[in-house]
Amino acid sequence: MYNGWKIIIGLIIFVGLITAPFIFSGKKATAKPDPKVDTPEILKLPESERKCVESKEFMKREHMKLLNQWRDWVVRDGDTIYTNVEGKRYTISLQNTCMKCHSNKTKFCDECHNYAAVSPYCWDCHIAPKEKKS
């Protein structure tokens, strides 16, 4: 092999560089997101009414699509009442319906959004509920 030692040193440096992030970050994985739904507003509700506009599973998977549709319905069509699967009616509003219960934006929205590295621009305009720093 011509210049074998140069190639081998180069290879060692190369392998070192690409494995460095894995070695130095160690095995500690980023903490799993744990969105909290224990806001005072939710705890005030009787147990039977502690439900979101749709089921927990639906909201987990589809909330972004629902919010997208909500905004089109309100802003573009002027329809402000949403009737869910159970026939219960809600005013369509992020600030006045969603965040009235989920008044913990940092522990509810940001928890997963940060983990998934998504940054929706809702809060550039919509006013997040005022949270007490704990």
Partner 1 sequence: MSMDRREFLKIAGISTILGIGGISVVNSLRNLVEASQISPNPEALKAKRWAMVVDMSKFKTDEDYQRCINACHRAHNVPEIVGNPKHEVKWLWKETYEHAFPGTEDEYLSEGIKHLPFLLLCNHCANPPCVRVCPTKATFKRKSDGIVMMDMHRCIGCRFCMAACPYGARSFNWRDPRPFIDTAKENLEFPTRTKGVVEKCTFCYERLAKGLRPACVEESKGALIFGDIEDPNSEVRKVLSSRYSFRRRPELGTQPSVYYIL
The binder of partner 1 chosen from 48, 96, 132, 134 (CB under 8 A): 96
What is the SS3 assignment for the chain?
CCCHHHHHHHHHHHHHHHHHHHHHHCCCCCCCCCCCCCCHHHHHCCHHHCCCCCCHHHHHHHHHHHHHHHHHHHHHHCCCEEECCCCCEEECCHHHHHHHHCCCHHHHHHHHHHHCCCCCCHHHHCCCCCCCCC
The binder of partner 1 chosen from 19, 95, 114, 119 (CB under 8 A): 95
Which string of x and - marks every residue 58-87 that binds partner 1 (by CB under 8 A)?
-------------x-x-xxxxxxxxx----
> Closest CB to partner 1 among 52 and 92?
92
> Closest CB to partner 1 among 100 and 113?
100
Which string of x and - marks every residue 109-128 that binds partner 1 (by CB under 8 A)?
------------x--xxxx-
- Residues in contact with partner 1 by CB under 8 A are 71, 73, 75-83, 91-92, 95-96, 121, 124-127, 129
